[in-house]
Chains A and B, each alone.
Chain A
């Protein structure tokens, strides 16, 4: 019993000494609590939608308010052509384009069941699923009032309008199509940060850093020399995931793989910079690991990889927009599933580049060539 108490006391003392580890042990559950409790929402509402209106009749307006009232759609833009709508979808600016064709009101009154075309960016079926599901009920209920007299029979049959939903990019709502490309970013984030953090703190923990620093090297040589092997490892991971995506999960690949590999380079650099920064703070490998996790967790949850980005409250989206993973997930999905080119992904690339530059600056500022 005495020895057990001695052991207990010793562990408590050591736990208290390692402040950072202790802070992480409290901080990580809190972070999880906040993220899972407040940020994540599997039923995203208020998805941005664009409308293309070619008909000025009153039924069109009824439809708009029905969509707005459903809570799933925010009509944020008016577009003039289908092409413009497609472009917004490709760049991820809107989730839906709702197309009210010419003569909609006239055909509706006549009982001709006019077509209402809804195009959805269904890359992530989780985002669009409920919104699409609610569509026909919402519309039918809204149009109920207009169905008087001879039109009443329509309500009983197929409904007064011909609702056509085009789930673009992932028409069969296959989750793999969405998850597997995103996974590339997740895997890179975790390994790149962890591995650089560990590689540098390991030298310090084992005392070999003193030896290394006593040699006539410039920090840039040490860092680049240390990091290049891990960049290669990162590319091995990218290749593996691409191969698996292609041959195991049959994920479509519409865009340029070369562009994807270039974007990956930028993303890898951003993560390495975070890893170096962590290694300048962490005293040992355990701390480096915990800090990695502390960064990884919000990246995973707020990036739109695992949960719909548009389902999150604004503050969570704001944090998500800062994280490189958020943008990289969009880049990969955009290139593979939407066939996006450089023009369409550029708006996602510069936030990664900016993040990389800032992180690299901090890393270089903090990286010491001496032991003090």
Chain B
């Protein structure tokens, strides 16, 4: 993916009172890329997206979005961006068709009626177009929101947790659609808390406490952390977890169903740490660290830093 940079910002910062919520974040997203933006709750993802499309004034930072200055030209940026808010933000007392029509008018879409009709058909809601948006189920609201964001043919999509609370099948359809759009040249910046979705992104960034901790393709992100992970299965893993946590070298344990992932940054120390428990009772296997292991590791590390 070597297209021109669509988002190219440096040092983006936002403070609320004396809290720095986004702290000097640099980010480059290239044309046609699906870029995943991950981070724990309250890490500043939504705030960052809002700064990109001019909904919040940045306290510091510079750069371009779609070739326009991200600080001074938000009006031009808004014209070419489709922003899907985290919370459903269409008018619940307007019908589906009325919502789409309103958005189309706001963006001065050519051939408005036709565009809206086509959008309704693609959405599969042509038959229910007169239903009020407020009566839709959560999943359908999400689909309506996406359709509305796309109606003016934006060059950049900013999607804020678009699949929260959506069933697996709908989620998969959603991602197929995103990949299809990216194939046509649309650039997508998407926030999510789902690991499987993170893995479907071309590149990722991970943000915690307002700071960008790592970015790159999935394997780069994993590789950069140099985390060693062992998987263990057997009886009474809860008790084992407790014992392992007290051991030197063991930095984190994460339960995956009947398995436990035990990770540490220092491979040798970790091996020594788990040595006493490598008995017949348990089955141990060294595995490749997954994204989730890495993210939890990053988060714990940054929490330690922010506390000290």
Chain A residues close to B by CB (< 8 Å): 206-208, 210-211, 213-217, 370-372
Contacts and interface: CB of A to CB of B under 8 A. Distances in A.
Contacts of A211: 83, 85, 89-90
Nearest to B160: A210
Given A215-B78, A216-B106, A208 B56 contact: no
B79 interface: yes
Contact of A216 (B75, B85, B87): B75
B282 interface: no
B56 A216 contact: no
A245 B92 CA distance: 39
Contacts of A217: 106
A214 B57 CA distance: 13
Query: Majority SS of interface residues in chain B?
Result: loop
A206 B57 contact: no
Given A210-B85, A215-B106, A217-B106, A370 B54 contact: yes
Given A206-B92, A207-B89, A371-B50, A213 B55 contact: yes
A217 B75 CA distance: 8
Contacts of A214: 53-55, 78, 81, 83, 85
B88 interface: yes
Given A215-B106, A216-B75, A370 B57 contact: yes
A209 to B, nearest CB: 8
Nearest to A206: B92
A214 B78 CA distance: 6
Contacts of B50: 210, 371
Contacts of A206: 89, 92
Contacts of A208: 89-91
A372 B57 contact: yes
Nearest to A222: B106
A223 to B, nearest CB: 15
Contacts of B88: 207
B307 to A, nearest CB: 28
Nearest to A213: B55
Given A208-B91, A211-B90, A216 B78 contact: yes
A207 B87 CA distance: 7
Contact of A371 (B56, B87, B103): B56
Contacts of B92: 206
Nearest to B108: A216
Contacts of B83: 211, 214
A292 B293 CA distance: 54
13 contacts: A207-B88, A211-B89, A214-B53, A214-B78, A214-B85, A215-B107, A216-B78, A216-B106, A370-B54, A370-B55, A371-B50, A372-B16, A372-B56
Contacts of A207: 85, 87-89
A372 B50 CA distance: 10
Interface in B97-147: 103, 106-107
Contacts, number: 47
Given A215-B103, A216-B79, A216-B106, A370 B85 contact: no
B195 to A, nearest CB: 27
Contacts of A215: 78, 103, 106-107
Contacts of B81: 214
A217 B55 CA distance: 12
A213 B88 CA distance: 14
Nearest to A211: B89
A216 B107 contact: yes
Nearest to A372: B56
Nearest to A221: B106
Contacts of B91: 208
A230 B107 CA distance: 24
Nearest to B77: A216
A203 to B, nearest CB: 9
B33 to A, nearest CB: 21
A32 B75 CA distance: 47
User: Most chain-A CB neighbours within 10 Å: which of B57, B81, B87, B106?
Assistant: B106
A214 B157 CA distance: 12
B59 to A, nearest CB: 10
A282 to B, nearest CB: 19
A201 to B, nearest CB: 15
A200 to B, nearest CB: 14
User: Most chain-B CB neighbours within 10 Å: which of A210, A214, A216, A217?
Assistant: A214
User: Most chain-B CB neighbours within 10 Å: which of A207, A211, A371?
Assistant: A211
A87 B78 CA distance: 59
A206 B56 CA distance: 18
Interface in B65-82: 75-76, 78-79, 81
Contacts of B90: 208, 211
A252 B76 CA distance: 57
A210 B53 CA distance: 11
Can you list the 9 inter-chain pairs with the closest CB atoms, starting with the nearest? Answer: A211-B89, A216-B78, A214-B83, A215-B106, A216-B79, A207-B89, A207-B87, A208-B89, A210-B85
Given A214-B83, A215-B78, A372-B56, 6 more contacts: A207-B89, A210-B87, A211-B85, A215-B106, A372-B16, A372-B57
B54 to A, nearest CB: 7
A210 to B, nearest CB: 5
Interface string B20-47: 0000000000000000000000000000
Nearest to B89: A211
A371 B54 CA distance: 9
A214 B50 CA distance: 9
Contacts of A370: 54-57
A214 B152 CA distance: 13
Contacts of A372: 16, 56-57
A207 B84 CA distance: 12
Contacts of B107: 215-216
A224 to B, nearest CB: 14
B56 A210 contact: no
Nearest to A217: B106
A211 B50 CA distance: 11
Nearest to B54: A370
A210 B89 contact: yes
A371 B50 CA distance: 9
